[in-house]
Amino acid sequence: MMRVVLPLCIASWLLACAAVHSPPSTESNRAVEISDPIERLIGRLSDSYGLWRNGVFPVLGLSSIASTQKLISRVFEMTGFDRGRVTQHQILETRQVSIPGDLPDIYTAVLVDTNLGKKIVLMKFEGPAGGWWSRVYDAETSA
């Protein structure tokens, strides 16, 4: 009898400890994470081991103190898409994000509503010689 009870007690204790130390997981928490297009993009880019940085980007010709609005306008002036050009845009959110695998790994992410749908513009000033690096992504609105 003792051989059966002791393993059951140990298993129950381990399950209880795991439940106490696990962060709460609710449907609403997962829905918030999934619905945030910037966080979803950062997750995708983080999984690419830095390969997302490769490729061309427009030379914006703006100073390090240029406003976000001016930077976004210039990015869209210089970037074309399969569906045409962005002719109207409105900044919805701007925040600093960290993308692991690149040092320094801090970028400005700007969620923008455009005539071509929602876009995320990532940008970072890389010094006087490099200027502004930027890349535009579609903001995936479905999970």
The pLDDT tens digits for 3-50 are: 544 454 455 544 444 444 444 444 444 444 557 899 999 988 888 777
pLDDT score for 136:
95
Q: How far is the first Cα of the chain from the last one, in angstroms, to the nearest whole number?
A: 51
Q: What pLDDT sits at residue 46?
A: 84
Give residue-wise pLDDT tens across range 39-89: 999 988 888 777 788 888 889 999 999 999 999 999 999 999 989 999 999
Exposed e or buried b for every residue in 64-92, given b needs 16+ CB within 10 A?
A: eebeeeebbbbbbeebeeeeeebeebeee
In a domain, 49, yes or no: yes
Count of domains in the chain?
Answer: 1
Q: What is the DSSP string of 96-115?
A: EEE-TTSSS-EEEEEEEEET
Domain assignment present for residue 121? The answer is: yes
Query: Residue 94 sits in which domain range?
Result: 27-138
Q: Assess if residue 90 is contained within a domain.
A: yes
> In 3D, which of 130, 122, 124, 142 has the Cα closest to residue 45?
122
